[in-house]
Structure 1
Amino acid sequence: MTAIVIISSLLIGTLEGIALVKKKMWKELSCVVILLIIALCFQTSKNLGMATPIDLIEKLLEPIGKIFFNKL
């Protein structure tokens, strides 16, 4: 799965990057690159067994959900 994400990120980055560089849209290019890097970091952290943002949100909201739904 990680290979698919890496390959698709490279393809998206290349296709979008070439057009943005030709138009000299540097801010948009930096946004695309940053978002692709974030996606790669999330994918690799998921495969390495590290905590993802979804895990952190679940850990934070689980006690609140238990309290709320126990009162219903």
Structure 2
Amino acid sequence: MTKPQPDLQLIDRWEVIRMLGISESTLERMLVRDEHFPLPRRLGTRTVRWLKHEVESFIRSLEVVDYFGDGT
């Protein structure tokens, strides 16, 4: 049985920023510093897009925080 292929929807930087709730400069830092952050695909000389399912997978992989925990 083969694994179903994810929907290959391409999204631009503004959609990535919106999905993560971050600033443009934070996106730039993540691209440089976070080895687990998905890399964009080049469509043209000045056009890049991300695969939506890769960004969603990155979001799901983020650490869960016990917001009201005692910190121990």
Relative to the length of structure 1, the TM-score reads: 0.29
Structure with the higher fraction of residues in helix conformation: 1
> Which structure has more RCO (C-alpha within 8 Å, separation ≥ 6)?
2
Relative to the length of structure 2, the TM-score reads: 0.29
